[in-house]
Amino acid sequence: MAKDFVTRQENYSEWYNELVVRADLAENSAVRGCMVIKPYGYAIWEKMQVALDKMFKETGHQNAYFPLFIPKSYFEKEAEHVEGFAKECAVVTHHRLSAKSDGKGLEPDPTAKLEEELIVRPTSETIIWDTYRGWIKSYRDLPILCNQWANVVRWEMRTRMFLRTAEFLWQEGHTAHETSEEAIEETKKMLDVYAYFAENFMAVPVIKGVKSPNERFAGALDTYCIEALMQDGKALQAGTSHFLGQNFAKAFDVKFLSKDNKLEYVWATSWGVSTRLMGALIMSHSDDNGLVLPPKLAPTQVVIIPIFKGEEQKAMVNSHAERICSELRAKGISVKYDDRDAYKPGWKFNEYEFKGVPVRVTLGARDLEQGLVEIARRDTLTKESISIEGISDKIKKLLEDIQENIYNKALHFREESTKEVNSWEEFLVEIEKGGFLKCHWDGTPETEEKIKELTKATIRCIPLDAKEEEGKCILTGKPSHKRVLFSRAY
């Protein structure tokens, strides 16, 4: 660990920001609130994209692309939607600039004012449902299962790289269905896809649930979500899937001729995850020595570092390295052989440890003469010497073990940080410690808002597996039939 690298305990926020920059994931740009995702960070995002895209297509979805600019009047057609996004919208008012005559710069050309202002896409429901009106005429045209990989703009006042930026990358699925049952099934199916990805690729355990009315997506009848717990005890919403009912179909007059020869409104869903997953990945696993990456998402899963003296030893080490690289690649494992002369082995060790490469293999000439290599694990920071025989099989198994260990460590942390709370006094104490609090709530938006006002804690979700049990609301004492999940959140 670099001596000047702040620890999580000293300042978690500063630790996160420093890690993002020093691990070469991203940096702030010259544009307020925006970031530059660097090649190493983008390589992780690409692996997320590939895995998710494959799952989307396996569930029958196709990729499409819709305009970045959305007419302002489209947003005004769905009342809840426009109210939910109005304060975050970036608006285009002119289509060109003119130079000032005094040579002091540029300003909007007054003759180039748009007849209708355009919203820079904060989300695409409106433009997509206007488009779907032309695609859907009959029940034979349904379902439509589209996904879009795109960027969006939400004019955030306080930004943090990956977690909350004015522009970010995401995918947004938008589907159209014949019946409400089909749409609800789709909504839950995609939630399951997100949960599977989070747990099996990101190694992040999540809780599936439904949002309370206060936390619901603007324009949705129900919002389903996956919630993860970060190492500082704050929750992070890792993905959402929305049952939109017929709200957008009615707003944009999207009807179809049913099998009964009647005109009916279409049923809709939307669902999405974003580069916020990068923040979840960092904060779930990384430590005071830098980034920790699950093997399934690591751009480089194995790095090989040589140690030798003289050309004869170099040739011998290179020969072994080439063979190991070839065997690992044949097994679908990404490997890098770092034989750069400009950096010493110790510098390389620190570099790859900080960047979270799961496995480091040191090929020392002396060890190789005895048929040995040194293997180091990033997740446990342990190392051992093993026989070079069958090394590719051993590394493949080791990567599987690391993936499982990282998940189990995060799961253990979440379980240790989840408590049942039964009184307001206990809630006030436990919320300061962080974590998930399972509490009874009377079901009213007013009570939820009051708790948020008093403690900055929100209902993260009503877990889908929450058991029916009689209790009393922690704040009002009114009857409650199941516990919900409270936490402070990003």
For the four alpha carbons of 135, 137, 142 and 143, in that order, the dihedral sign comes to positive
pLDDT tens for 38-69 read 999 999 999 999 999 999 999 999 999 999 99
Asked whether the beta carbons of 419 and 430 are under 8 A apart, the reply is: yes
pLDDT tens sequence across 393-424: 999 999 999 999 999 999 999 999 999 999 99
195/268 same-domain check? yes
The answer to whether residues 376 and 460 belong to one domain is no
Structure tokens at 465: 């597996």
Q: Which of 256, 285, 314 is the last residue of a domain?
A: 285
pLDDT of 85 reads 87
The pLDDT assigned to 76 comes to 87
Closest among 348, 325, 354 to 337, alpha carbons compared: 325
Q: Quick check: 149 and 16 in contact, CB under 8 A?
A: no
Residue 339 pLDDT > 70: yes
Q: In 3-state terms, what secondary structure has residue 114?
A: strand
More confident: 1 or 481: 481
Whole-angstrom distance, CA of residue 288 vs CA of residue 356: 11
Are 344 and 225 found together in one domain? no
User: Where is the domain boundary, 398, 428, 453?
Assistant: 398
Give me the domain span that covers residue 330.
302-398
Note whether residue 64 is domain-resident.
yes
Domain of 328: which CATH number?
Answer: 3.40.50.800
Q: Is residue 56 part of a domain?
A: yes
Instruction: Average the pLDDT over 268-281 and give the result.
Output: 98
According to the model, what pLDDT value does residue 278 have?
98
Do residue 267 and residue 384 come from a single domain? no
Do 154 and 228 belong to one domain? yes
Residue 451 counted as domain residue? yes
**54 and 194 part of one domain:** yes
Indicate which CATH number applies to the domain containing 166: 3.30.930.10
Residues 208 and 275 in one domain: yes
Examine the domain organization and report whether 442 and 379 are in the same domain. no
pLDDT higher than threshold 80 for residue 4: no
| Tens digits of residue pLDDT in 424-447 | 999 999 999 999 999 999 999 999
166 and 192 assigned to the same domain: yes
User: Domain check: are 281 and 308 in the same one?
Assistant: no
How far is residue 348's CA from residue 302's CA, in Å, rounded to a whole number?
Answer: 13
Q: Are residues 254 and 379 in the same domain?
A: no
DSSP state of 357: -
Question: What tens digit of pLDDT does each residue of 293-317 get?
Answer: 999 999 999 999 999 999 999 999 9
Are 59 and 193 in contact, with CB atoms under 8 Å apart? Answer: yes
Number of domains in the chain: 3
Q: What is the mean pLDDT of residues 20-34?
A: 96
**Does 391 reside within a domain?**
yes
Shared domain for 382 and 426, answered yes or no, is: no
Q: How confident is the model at residue 137 (pLDDT cuts 50, 70, 90)?
A: very high
Kindly report the pTM of this predicted structure.
0.95
**3: pLDDT strictly greater than 90:** no
Amino acid letter, 165 = T
Kindly tell me if the per-residue pLDDT of 333 is higher than 60.
Answer: yes
pLDDT of residue 1: 44
Q: Which residues pair with 124 in a beta bridge?
A: none
Task: Tell which of 285, 314, 344 closes a domain.
Answer: 285
Residue 86 domain-assigned? no
Distance linking the first and last C-alpha atoms of the chain = 27
- The CATH number of residue 462's host domain is 3.30.110.30
The average pLDDT across 101-125 equals 89
Establish if 480 belongs to a structural domain: yes
The whole-chain average pLDDT of the chain stands at 96
Quickly state the pLDDT bin for 148 (edges 50, 70, 90).
very high
Residue 84: predicted pLDDT: 81
